[in-house]
A and B are shown apart, each in its own frame.
Chain A
Amino acid sequence: MNAEALSAVEMQHITKRFPGVLANDDITFSVLKGEIHALLGENGAGKTTLMNILYGLYRPDAGEICVNSQKVDITEPNDAIALGIGMIHQHFMLIPPFTVAENVILGIEPQKTFLLDREKAAKDVQEISQKYGLTVDPRAKVQDLSVGIEQRVEILKALYRGAEILILDEPTAVLTPQEVEELFKVMKSLKEEGKTIIFITHKLKEPMATCDRITVLRKGKLVGTVLTEKTDISSLARMMVGRDVCLVVEKPPHPAGGTVMEVENLEAYNDRDIKALRGINLVLRKGEILGIAGVEGNGQLELAETLTGLRKVSAGKILINGQDMTNRSARDIINAGVSHIPEDRRKRGLILDFSLAENLILGSHFKSPFSHGFQMDYDNVFTHADNLVETFDIRGTGIESQVKYLSGGNMQKVIVAREIGREPEIIIASQPTRGLDVGAIEYIHEQILRMREQNKAILLISADLDEVLCLSDRVAVIYEGKIVGERDPQTATEEELGLLMAGGKI
């Protein structure tokens, strides 16, 4: 580092307040030209807010911004773009029926008199994509592309607008492991071409692999900036959550009890009427965690939904405590003692416009003490909510406010609190920690293990192999709607399971 290491962005003493939340509290953050700089923090730490300020989407309440050592006033994204800043959001803003080139040039179309110059557009896009190793066909329609390629189109869009500083907001959240590798390659080649990259993430491993420096935020405050080569994962984790995180789950041995749920030759169809479950056999025992590993889309969603009465069983049987519960209603299955942590927490697990208190009784709202006959007892609903908020440490603006204002981690806590708080016998947990930060993941893992100690039967469906291996007592691998093998997580190797997940025979 010498005189060449000029600063690209300097944000000084940035403060941003939202109703009830101090999102950014006096944050000072600087990025050098030509570096890849990670902005690391848990959900709700203020990373995205800080970057939205830089991109002109929010105005800071206090603080100064310098770009290329010039003090600037960014009031809207166009200002940021003019300064050479580009932002790639988590949710892509592309028009699916348009081609890649059309999407890239949108808003600044090259024209031949009054007509759109498609040829020039395609050529321009091709040129940029080759320069940075962002292979993509400019004439392909966006609707035909995979998520990873769509992301490239977003990056191309920013580059086409002359971006020198690229902000990537949680770019890996939507990608497969292979796509993540590709993205990292692209980031490196962008760096080689002299671009500056700010990489927002909450995953510890990612910045270690790609970044030059890492800035950690916690609860809206700056914790510090470190050189990647001079730090390690555990010290990053400490900076992020403010205490030592046990990354390896401590799991005391616990004897499994009697069978509570049996699934025999279960078959079901997915939403596109294709057979998604093709003869699943499972046995769930008390005090035991059965992990279902597998690449996503191999029937996990359909399995969870058929077991909880949300999807029709086309063949086979589900027995709960010896009683046939095949194709019974969701309510009957809840009443039989089954709780469900669904994988889509915003669509399936919560009613976002309902209050926290009302969400915490969903599924037991028809039972005492919340309902007496036809009448609700809101006093009990509120007491219940107060208790769960305290027990499960749900942080928000009160039990009366709508859950849509909670952070992702707290939303999941609401679901976990509700489903565990119901004292079920069986818990079907689907992707219970997806998209959550370290603190929340750890918390949810603890809760799952606590349920095991209380002799509940747990079916853990997760795409995160580490999670399945750490928590489960038995691991079953699902592939194309069938259980293709069952292993003891103590002795199974990742290679062996990986092979099973990919449909290979052992």
Chain B
Amino acid sequence: MKLNKIAELVKIKRESVTDVFISFIAVIAALLVGAVIVYISGSSPLEAYKALYEGAFGSTYDFAQTLTRTTPLIFTGLTVAFAFRCGLFNIGGEGQLYVGGMTAAIVGVSFTGLPIYVHLPLALGAGAAAGGAWSLVPSVLKARVGAHEVITTIMMNYIGILLCSYLANYSFKAEGWVAQTDVVEPSAQLPKLVPGTQLTASIFVALACVVIAYYILYKTTLGYEIRAVGLNPTAAEYGGISVQKSIVVAMLISGMLAGLGGTGEVLGLHRRFIFGFSPGYGFDGIAVAVLGRNHPVGVVLGALLFGALRNGGMVMKQMTNVPTDLVIVIQGIVILFVAAPEMFRIFRRIRKGGIRNAF
């Protein structure tokens, strides 16, 4: 039994080596291309990257800020990765995140006098449930009538975001001209972790979700079924697995993760729902999942990279002449390189043993 477990560990390492390698090379390559761009535009790449690095990891404050930006990306990265393990493209993370955040805000402002150990879990649960409900529509449509989830999740984004806009502008609007809700009750707030920074306990929720997602996918019967459906629905059906059920459940969990991401931002960072609080986290989640090779642990690393780039980029802009847009360029190039992993594989195999071997 022990031998098996050791073999399992070694195996996991060996199989992930290629994945890690590809992502790593892609990041390095993107940084190099970024350096060339900085150089061409007349600045020193070395200084720009130094500023970027220090802005991201230079001090406790900077690191805490980096983690703040990493947190929502972990949620949305998991959102995309989890659905993808069932063969689904959840492009609806943004809408699910909004709806989740708004619902959590409503629960956060509507109840008063509740103890924190009741109110906070209630708000978190409501946010997750709302995100899940939002993803349920596309998944049921897919399972029942075969409607493609890419189309339906994108459409649900519009509905969700505009619904939240309405709620933030009318039903739950706080005093003033900003489209936002009132501050949620202290009993529904996620506590700040590092004084003077924006880092909140939301990151613990995110990391707990990473563990839970990993556990579900690789240790439970449900996860076995979800992965089976993702890899070969025909064989899964043959193995007595309900493809429809797996699709609905996987998408539900995926949507809940996005909903929790929005909830974390609302109950933690902003302490209220502010319309426009997400600069596109739901879509960045696709990039994070791609970079993280759809693995929960990979998602954490991908989110950390993008979080660091975003946070460091602002410092870089202040210290040097390089605009923050460089960060977006680097992010884009990373994805370009990772999204074409087959290219790397094919090149390597051609070198090793001929063209036929490569495919």
A86 within 8 A of B: no
Q: Distance (Å) between the CB of B250 and the closest chain A CB?
A: 15
CA distance A347 to B236 in the complex (A): 10
Chain B residues lying within 8 Å of A18, measured Cβ to Cβ, are 353
Does B242 lie within 8 Å of A329, measured CB to CB?
A: yes
Chain B residues lying within 8 Å of A57, measured Cβ to Cβ, are 354-357
A439 within 8 A of B: no
Does A379 lie within 8 Å of B4, measured CB to CB?
A: yes
Q: Distance (Å) between the CB of A285 and the closest chain B CB?
A: 25
Does A400 lie within 8 Å of B8, measured CB to CB?
A: yes
B117 within 8 A of A: no
CA distance A91 to B13 in the complex (A): 34
Does B356 lie within 8 Å of A310, measured CB to CB?
A: no
- Closest A residue by C-beta to B4: A382
Residues in A318-367 with C-beta less than 8 Å from chain B: 329-331, 333-335, 340, 342, 347-354, 358, 362-363, 365-366
Chain B residues lying within 8 Å of A386, measured Cβ to Cβ, are 4
A52 within 8 A of B: yes
Does B237 lie within 8 Å of A330, measured CB to CB?
A: yes
Q: Give the contacting residue for A374; candidates B11, B220, B241, B353; CB below 8 A.
A: B220
A110 within 8 A of B: no
Q: Distance (Å) between the CB of A52 and the closest chain B CB?
A: 6
Does A330 lie within 8 Å of B238, measured CB to CB?
A: yes
A446 within 8 A of B: no
Chain B residues lying within 8 Å of A310, measured Cβ to Cβ, are 237-238
Chain B residues lying within 8 Å of A382, measured Cβ to Cβ, are 1, 4, 8
Also in contact, A56 and B225, with CB within 8 A (given A330-B237, A353-B231, A400-B8): no
CA distance A470 to B238 in the complex (A): 28
Chain B residues lying within 8 Å of A362, measured Cβ to Cβ, are 228, 235-236, 238-239
CA distance A375 to B223 in the complex (A): 9
Chain B residues lying within 8 Å of A363, measured Cβ to Cβ, are 238-240
Q: Give the contacting residue for A351; candidates B220, B223, B232, B242; CB below 8 A.
A: B232
Interface size on B (CB < 8 Å)?
A: 31
B148 within 8 A of A: no
Does A349 lie within 8 Å of B221, measured CB to CB?
A: no
Interface readout for B195-225 with A: 1 if CB under 8 Å, 0 if not?
0000000000000000000000001111111
A76 within 8 A of B: yes
CA distance A342 to B237 in the complex (A): 12
Also in contact, A348 and B240, with CB within 8 A (given A354-B228, A362-B228): no
- Closest B residue by C-beta to A382: B4
Chain B residues lying within 8 Å of A58, measured Cβ to Cβ, are 353-354, 356-357
B234 within 8 A of A: yes
CA distance A386 to B4 in the complex (A): 10
Residues in A362-416 with C-beta less than 8 Å from chain B: 362-363, 365-366, 371, 374-376, 378-379, 382-383, 386, 398, 400-401
- Closest B residue by C-beta to A355: B11
CA distance A354 to B217 in the complex (A): 13
Does A400 lie within 8 Å of B7, measured CB to CB?
A: yes
Interface readout for B249-269 with A: 1 if CB under 8 Å, 0 if not?
000000000000000000000
Does B238 lie within 8 Å of A340, measured CB to CB?
A: yes
CA distance A382 to B2 in the complex (A): 11
Chain B residues lying within 8 Å of A308, measured Cβ to Cβ, are 238
- Closest B residue by C-beta to A334: B240
Chain B residues lying within 8 Å of A374, measured Cβ to Cβ, are 220-222
Does B355 lie within 8 Å of A351, measured CB to CB?
A: no
CA distance A429 to B239 in the complex (A): 15
Chain A residues lying within 8 Å of B231, measured Cβ to Cβ, are 351-354
Chain B residues lying within 8 Å of A378, measured Cβ to Cβ, are 8, 219
Does A365 lie within 8 Å of B354, measured CB to CB?
A: no
- Looking at B4, B8, B223, B238, the one whose CB has the most chain A CB atoms below 10 A away is B238
Chain B residues lying within 8 Å of A75, measured Cβ to Cβ, are 354
Does A371 lie within 8 Å of B228, measured CB to CB?
A: no
Chain B residues lying within 8 Å of A334, measured Cβ to Cβ, are 240
A47 within 8 A of B: no
A424 within 8 A of B: no
CA distance A375 to B1 in the complex (A): 18
Q: Give the contacting residue for B224; candidates A333, A348, A358; CB below 8 A.
A: A358
A77 within 8 A of B: yes
Interface readout for B347-359 with A: 1 if CB under 8 Å, 0 if not?
0000001111100
CA distance A251 to B358 in the complex (A): 46
Chain A residues lying within 8 Å of B232, measured Cβ to Cβ, are 347, 350-353
Chain B residues lying within 8 Å of A350, measured Cβ to Cβ, are 232, 235
Does B221 lie within 8 Å of A351, measured CB to CB?
A: no
Chain B residues lying within 8 Å of A398, measured Cβ to Cβ, are 7, 11
Q: Give the contacting residue for B238; candidates A76, A77, A342; CB below 8 A.
A: A342
CA distance A75 to B235 in the complex (A): 39
A59 within 8 A of B: yes
Residues in B113-163 with C-beta less than 8 Å from chain A: none
With A77-B355, A351-B231 given, name 14 new contacts (CB 8 A): A57-B356, A58-B356, A330-B237, A330-B240, A351-B232, A362-B239, A363-B240, A365-B221, A371-B221, A374-B220, A375-B220, A376-B219, A378-B219, A382-B8
A-B contact pairs, 20 of them (CB 8 A): A57-B354, A57-B355, A57-B357, A77-B355, A310-B237, A310-B238, A331-B240, A348-B234, A350-B232, A350-B235, A351-B228, A351-B236, A353-B232, A354-B227, A362-B238, A365-B239, A375-B219, A376-B221, A376-B223, A400-B11
Chain B positions near chain A (C-beta within 8 angstroms): 1, 4-5, 7-8, 11, 219-225, 227-228, 231-232, 234-242, 353-357
Chain A positions near chain B (C-beta within 8 angstroms): 18, 52, 56-59, 75-77, 308, 310, 329-331, 333-335, 340, 342, 347-354, 358, 362-363, 365-366, 371, 374-376, 378-379, 382-383, 386, 398, 400-401
